[in-house]
Amino acid sequence: MDAVSEPARGESFVLEPRALQALLDAIVAEGYQIRGPLVRDHAVCLDEVTRVEQLPVGWTDEQEGGHYRLTRRGGSALFGCGVGQDSWKRLLHRPLALLWSAERDDGGLALSEPHEEPARFAFFGVRPCDLAAINIQDGILAAGRYPDPFYRARRQGLLTVVANCTSAGGTCFCASMGTGPRAESGFDLALTELWPDTANHALLVETGSDAGTRLLAAVPRRPAGDPERREADEATRRAVEQMGRRLDTSDIHGMLMGNLEHPRWAEVARRCLACGNCTLVCPTCFCTNFEDGGDLELRHAERTRRWDSCFTLGFTRLHGGPVRRKIRSRYRQWMTHKLATWFDQFGTSGCVGCGRCITWCPVGIDLTEESAAIRASDGRSGR
Ligand code: SF4
Ligand code: SF4
């Protein structure tokens, strides 16, 4: 393995699994705080990772509507688990943020706003669907007329190391959404795991930026050849075949918006608990609410911002009460926003096909199934 000649951007290399530690060390040496997948509380969570052994080595997951289990697959696969309930959203768009606080004393009122220090995060093992979700949130929270300073402070120094998917979860449908299972761009480095559990176990690494290329200079590697590139293509193609769900996106905007009174909305509302799990686990949902608090002596006051969900009754409360009183209208709002009106608002789909909302819905409601049911009895005239 060669660690001397300089790698060039756009090239691909092969790393032996043990070289991954050198990559983690190089990322830390550049001053990044690495966040990556690890097993905690019987699920894959995202937290600080500095050692290869912290990754979910030898684990896999079962995912179905309302069902998630980690199981031991054995062997040495580093990226054998799909996405868990956690997402990178939690790190970039924090669930709870203090916006300002005020202290009153005999001299008057002192107002302070927290200053968000720019973070230097390296997200390691980002799945392609989640990379697409970060790009969607960038367009909403980092760009536009009203960028969010908290999000921007964490996003601007971000390094992303993608793990392309070589096996697919039971609820994934990224192939339908054009977001995976292989990332084409927008990353610093992209890894594809090859031949796990064999003597040839290796990682194909593609460079996508100068920062990623620079990191590889310190990592033992060799140039990728045709066999590795072919296997990476094959492995991601197999993942597409395994994908547990698909979504027909043809004219999905017209199909959903032309069926706002379809009886299926009432049917799904009979099952939906309006718990909001689907929005909280979704890597693109970004809605928040503001809460004011203070102490009983009226000396301290503060305003916080907290993730909210379009499934809560209070989400649409106006002076006359909530606008969406029925669960039917809340579910319809959520699904039509994700799959249709998001295009009007932001120019993309609001769904990347990660499958989290299906897996983590306590009653197993599945937006691919709901969409297919509406399409199957499309109420638009002439269909
Ligand atoms: S709507 Fe569901 S499948 Fe789509 S991105 Fe959100 S959680 Fe993932
Ligand atoms: S669809 Fe499922 S996860 Fe979403 S609010 Fe309804 S019950 Fe909760």
Ligand 1 centroid, distance to 335 Cα (angstroms): 10
Do residues 371 and 262 make contact, with C-beta atoms less than 8 angstroms apart?
A: no
pLDDT at res. 383 = 59
Bridge partners (DSSP) listed for residue 304: 98, 291
The CA 322 to ligand 2 mean position distance, Å, reads: 19
Dist. CA 355 → ligand 1 center (Å): 5
Phi, psi of 313 (to 5 degrees): -65, -35
Pocket test for ligand 1, best of 68, 90, 357, 366 (most atoms within 8 A of CB): 357
Atom number, ligand 1, closest to the C-alpha of residue 338: 1
Residue of 275, 285, 310, 327 with the most ligand 2 atoms within 8 Å of its CB, for mutation: 275
Counting from 1 in the atom list of ligand 2, the atom nearest the Cα of 276 is: 5
Alpha carbon of 29 to ligand 1 centroid (Å): 35
Cis peptide before 17 (omega within 30 of 0): no
Residue nearest to atom 4 of ligand 1 (CA): 351
The pLDDT of residue 381 is 60
Q: Is the pTM of this model over 0.85?
A: yes
Distance CA 291, CA 328 (A): 27
* Pocket around ligand 2 at a 6 A CB cut-off: 272-278, 311, 361-363, 365
Whose alpha carbon is nearest atom 7 of ligand 1? 282
Per-residue pLDDT tens, the chain, 383 aa: give them.
Answer: 544 467 777 789 999 999 999 999 999 999 999 999 999 999 999 999 999 999 999 999 999 999 999 999 888 999 999 999 999 999 999 999 999 999 998 888 899 998 877 789 999 999 999 999 999 999 999 997 889 999 999 999 999 999 999 999 999 999 999 999 999 999 999 999 999 989 999 999 999 999 999 999 999 999 999 999 999 999 999 999 999 899 999 999 999 999 999 999 999 999 999 999 999 999 999 999 999 999 998 899 999 999 999 999 999 999 889 999 999 999 999 999 999 999 999 999 999 999 999 999 999 999 999 999 999 999 886 55
Distance (Å) from CA 178 to ligand 1 centroid: 13
Distance CA 141, CA 345 (A): 13
Q: Please list every protein residue whose CB sits less than 6 Å from any atom of ligand 1.
A: 281-284, 338, 351-357
Q: What number of residues does the chain have? A: 383
Nearest atom in ligand 1 to 133's CA: 5
Edge to edge, the sheet with strand 96-105 lists 108-112, 96-105, 300-307, 288-294
How many whole angstroms from its chain centre is CA 346?
17
Instruction: Please give the distance, rounded to the nearest whole angstrom, from the Cα atom of residue 276 to the centre of ligand 2.
Output: 6
Nearest Cα to Cα of residue 14 among 313, 220, 238: 220
Q: What is the pLDDT of residue 74?
A: 84
Give the span between the Cα atoms of 11 and 25, in whole angstroms. Answer: 21
Distance 172 CA to ligand 1 centre (A): 9
CA distances for 259 relative to 13, 106, 218, 335, angstroms: 50, 61, 56, 12
